[in-house]
């Protein structure tokens, strides 16, 4: 090679390298736990179209307000929030959207049809591409499962049963709609409905593969990938004699970007001597990766293989699953268990340390998850300067409603931004129907009637905050908290807490008056706000109150006492301190080379 040719070669090589490194950053939106329920759907085998809304004149299929205020998710208004989020993504010109599971509420056929219609519309109108993975609500079971819901609203504001088979109706006098479209889809039905959203390869994909594929990156072609995507080619033995599907896949939707959709559902048989095809013989998958450790280990070796291939071909790998792979309670698990017990606060969903260790060993660095309906960032560092980051994507069906935007700047540098969905057009559209429900409950002198003031909220974020407040009152306090502790604590004001924490320390009258303005029930709600929204919750809590909490946290930390109740309060404020001071979770930059996360103001 002569000198002039060598110079020309190096100029062209480095020009190409610099051009590639300066390519426009790729943006990916993550929408978790949409829990889509088609308010305006139709059933293929029933004339029931819901009840007429006097505000719009439209027939509406909805669940009662009472049911959604006892649930960790909103059932109805998230329909409108989903559309608002997709519109926001479209305005930002983001073309790749990942949905880490629970995109429907139990995967019923009519909900899947409605969801598919919306995704198709946005794909065609905005050239978006959607990539889904499975959640514990889609599917609920490996195979089609009969069932229904008893809390849909009837024309009088009461409840009506919707069931897939009339043989499940226990009370023959109960009002019911029978439709097969309310049965909970299994994997096959999910595949048939959602195959165009990642579960099957597209001709647009630069690469697509499952854990069971035998072809290499170099050997990839659409025909081979399509064959591998068939239902029968995606089975594994979850327990001896029990074969179930695994819908994991890796896809290259844009040059240099590999999205790894990990199917974290692990449906373990209840009875190993039972029928492998019996839909009632499987436990649910909500525990997440802790069951993967015991019954789905092939996922870890597959991840290691994909990580290796990504490095070999200079691809940037981003994984997403329904389930978290790191602690999401900001290291407050021991205090939560101490105060509430081991079986409360969804502690069974906290992944074991081994989960993160195996993923880090496989070389995974960045992972997005849903499931918990919270906003959070988890970070764990290992030997050899390895860092694993788990991003918890908030739900559109809970406080604070929102989604995440990942900006890929390079293989080692990323930016994550949380977008809150505060203003949602039409979110009050169903309020006249709730008015009818409320009157019906009042006439029945029902106990624990929901607070009518939720119908006075001015925006969707406030609506979700009110939902959380009622959820705490109607469900979390009765189910999770020690009764004697709540009875004592609920009598206390901020001033009482200040005095109890300070061992007779003198405070000014002004300080006492300021602390006296709020009660324990308010700090309890704030605790759940921090659990749900992390640092985003600080925007909804007065700064002065946050300062007062820090005083109480420090006072209780220094308090030496043998009193059981005071020690319970001490633990309570330690949990509050940890949940309110976790790693950056709003807008931040991840630098894997430096091993750090930097908050962006």
CATH number at residue 62: 3.60.21.10
Radius of gyration of the chain (CA): 26
Beta strand 159-163 with 148-153: parallel, antiparallel or unpaired?
Answer: antiparallel
Domain end among 420, 442, 468: 420
| 405 and 497 part of one domain | no
- Rounded Cα distance between 125 and 9, Å, is 43
Mean pLDDT for 442-466 is 92
Give yes or no for residue 4 having a pLDDT over 60.
no
Position 463 scores a pLDDT of 98
- Kindly indicate the confidence band of residue 2, based on its pLDDT and cuts at 50, 70 and 90: low
Are 142 and 288 within one domain?
Answer: yes
Residue 597 lies in a domain: no
Phi/psi region, residue 345 (left: phi>0; alpha: psi -120 to 50; beta: rest), is left
Q: Is the pLDDT of residue 462 over 90?
A: yes
| CB atoms near residue 30 (< 10 Å) | 23
Same domain, 411 and 493: no
Both 525 and 398 in one domain: the answer is no
Candidates 385, 417, 422; CA nearest to 401 is 422
Q: For residue range 467-508, list pLDDT tens digits in order.
A: 999 999 999 999 999 999 999 999 999 999 999 998 778 888
Last residue of a domain, one of 377, 398, 420: 420
DSSP for residue 135: B
Q: Are residues 368 and 281 in the same domain?
A: yes
Q: What is the mean pLDDT of the chain?
A: 94
The answer on 104 and 33 residing in a single domain is: yes
Asked, for residue 591, whether it belongs to a domain, the answer is no
Residues 6+ positions from 208 with CB-CB distance below 8 Å:
201, 202, 220, 225, 229, 249, 250, 251, 252
More confident residue, 373 or 7: 373
What 476-485 contacts at long range (C-beta under 8 Å, 24+ apart), as own/partner pairs, is: 476/528, 477/524, 479/344, 480/340, 480/344, 480/345, 481/340, 481/344, 482/339, 482/340, 482/568, 485/339, 485/565, 485/568
Closest alpha carbon to 289 in 264, 312, 272, 322: 264
What is residue 478's predicted lDDT score, i.e. its pLDDT?
96
* Domain contains 453: no
pLDDT tens per residue, range 289-303? 999 999 999 999 999
Q: How far, in Å, CA of 357 to CA of 380, rounded?
A: 9
Residue keyed to tokens 């189910």: 479
Q: Which domain holds residue 32?
A: 23-420
Surface-to-core class of residue 239, CB atoms within 10 Å of its CB (0-12 exposed, 13-18 middle, 19+ buried)? middle
Share of the chain above pLDDT 70, in %: 96
The residues, ordered by sequence, that sit 6+ positions from 161 with a Cβ below 8 Å of its Cβ are 148, 149, 150, 152, 169, 174, 175, 176, 177
Q: What is the pLDDT of residues 555-580, one digit of tens each?
A: 999 999 999 999 999 999 999 999 99
Nearest to 260 by CA among 224, 300, 223: 300
Do 304 and 221 reside in the same domain of the chain? yes
SS3 letters across 425-470: CCCCCCHHHHHHHHHHHHHCCCCCCCCHHHHHCCCHHHHHHHHHHH
d(CA 579, CA 526): 10
Query: What is the mean predicted confidence (pLDDT) over 134-157?
Result: 96
H/E stretch holding 148: strand 148-153
Is residue 11 in a domain?
A: no
Q: Is the pLDDT of residue 24 over 90?
A: no
For residues 415 and 488, state if they share a domain: no
Residue pair 391/407 in contact (Cβ under 8 Å)? The answer is no
With b for 16 or more beta-carbon neighbours within 10 A and e for fewer, the 321-338 pattern comes to bbbbbbbbbbebbebbbe
Is the pLDDT at 35 greater than 90, yes or no? yes
3-state SS, residue 583 = coil
518 pLDDT exceeds 70? Answer: yes
Q: Are residues 401 and 521 in the same domain?
A: no
Listed range (22-31, 60-69, 235-244, 326-335) with the worst mean pLDDT: 22-31
Kindly state whether residue 15 falls inside one of the protein's structural domains.
Answer: no
For the chain, what is the largest distance between any 2 Cα atoms, rounded to a whole number of angstroms? 95
Q: Is 599 within a domain?
A: no
In 3D space, the residue among 367, 375, 265 whose CA is nearest the CA of residue 324 turns out to be: 367
Domain tally for the chain? Answer: 2
pLDDT at 424 over 80: yes
* Residue 21 confidence (pLDDT) above 50: no
Q: Which of 104-108, 169-173, 544-548 has the lowest mean pLDDT?
A: 169-173
Residue 443 phi, psi (nearest 5): -65, -25
Question: Do 412 and 486 have their domain in common?
Answer: no
Contact between 247 and 187 under an 8 Å Cβ cutoff? The reply is: yes
Across residues 336-341, what is the average pLDDT?
97
Q: Choose the final residue of a domain: 388, 420, 452.
A: 420
350 pLDDT more than 70: yes
Asked if residues 324 and 392 have their Cβ atoms less than 8 Å apart, the reply is yes
pLDDT tens column, 522-557:
999 999 999 999 999 999 999 999 999 999 999 999
Give the span between the Cα atoms of 585 and 391, in whole angstroms.
8
Give domain status of residue 465, yes or no: no
Q: What is residue 444's predicted lDDT score, i.e. its pLDDT?
A: 86
* Single pTM value for the model: 0.94
- Whether 547 maps to a domain, the answer reads yes
């Amino acid at each position: 090679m002569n000198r002039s040719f060598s110079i020309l070669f190096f100029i062209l090589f480095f020009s190409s390298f610099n051009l590639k490194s300066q390519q426009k950053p790729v943006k990916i939106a993550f929408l978790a736990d949409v829990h889509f329920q088609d308010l305006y759907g139709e059933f293929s085998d029933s004339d029931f179209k819901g009840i007429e809304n006097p505000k719009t004149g439209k027939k509406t299929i909805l669940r009662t307000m009472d049911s959604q205020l006892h649930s960790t998710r909103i059932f109805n208004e998230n329909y409108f929030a989903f559309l608002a989020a997709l519109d926001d993504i479209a305005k930002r010109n983001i073309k790749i959207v990942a949905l880490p599971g629970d995109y429907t509420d139990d995967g019923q056929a009519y909900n899947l049809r409605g969801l598919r219609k919306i995704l198709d519309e946005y794909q065609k109108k905005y050239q978006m591409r959607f990539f889904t993975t499975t959640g514990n609500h889609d599917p609920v079971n490996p195979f089609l499962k009969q069932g229904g819901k008893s809390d849909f609203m009837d024309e009088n504001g009461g409840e009506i049963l919707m069931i897939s088979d009339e043989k499940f109706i226990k009370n023959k006098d109960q009002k019911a709609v029978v439709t097969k479209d309310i049965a909970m889809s299994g994997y096959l039905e999910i595949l048939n409905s959602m195959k165009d959203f990642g579960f099957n390869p597209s001709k647009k994909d630069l690469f697509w593969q499952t854990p069971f594929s035998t072809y290499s990156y170099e050997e990839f072609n659409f025909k081979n990938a399509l064959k591998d995507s068939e239902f029968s080619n995606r089975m594994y033995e979850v327990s001896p004699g029990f074969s179930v599907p695994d819908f994991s896949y890796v896809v290259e939707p844009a040059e240099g970007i590999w999205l790894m959709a990990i199917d974290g559902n692990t449906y373990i048989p209840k009875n190993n001597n039972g029928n492998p095809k019996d839909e009632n013989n499987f436990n649910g998958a909500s525990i997440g990766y802790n069951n993967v450790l015991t019954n789905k280990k092939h996922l870890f070796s597959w991840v290691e293989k994909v990580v290796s291939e990504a490095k070999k071909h200079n691809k940037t790998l981003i994984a997403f699953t329904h389930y978290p792979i790191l602690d999401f309670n900001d290291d407050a698990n021991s205090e939560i268990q101490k105060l509430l017990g081991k079986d409360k606060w969804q502690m069974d969903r906290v992944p074991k340390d081994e989960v993160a260790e195996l993923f880090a060993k496989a070389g995974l660095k960045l992972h997005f998850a849903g499931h918990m309906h919270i906003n959070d960032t988890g970070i764990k560092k290992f030997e050899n300067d390895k860092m694993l980051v788990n991003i918890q994507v908030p739900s559109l069906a809970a406080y604070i409603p929102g989604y995440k935007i990942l900006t890929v700047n390079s293989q080692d540098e990323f930016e994550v931004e949380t977008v809150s969905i505060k203003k949602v057009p039409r979110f009050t559209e169903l309020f006249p129907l709730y008015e009818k429900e409320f009157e019906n409950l009042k006439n029945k002198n029902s106990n624990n009637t929901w607070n009518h003031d939720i119908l006075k909220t001015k925006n969707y974020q406030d609506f979700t905050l009110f939902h959380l407040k009622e959820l705490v009152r109607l469900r979390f306090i009765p189910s999770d908290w020690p009764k004697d502790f709540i009875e004592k604590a609920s009598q206390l004001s901020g001033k009482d807490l200040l005095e109890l924490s300070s061992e007779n320390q003198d405070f000014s009258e002004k300080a006492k008056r300021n602390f006296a303005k709020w009660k324990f029930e308010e700090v309890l709600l704030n605790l759940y706000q921090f659990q749900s929204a992390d640092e985003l919750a600080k925007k909804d809590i007065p700064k002065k109150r946050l300062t007062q909490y820090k005083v109480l946290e420090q006072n209780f930390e220094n308090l030496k006492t043998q009193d059981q109740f005071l020690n319970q309060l001490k633990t309570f404020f330690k949990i509050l301190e940890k949940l309110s001071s976790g790693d950056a979770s709003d807008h931040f930059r991840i630098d894997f080379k430096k091993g750090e996360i930097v908050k962006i103001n």
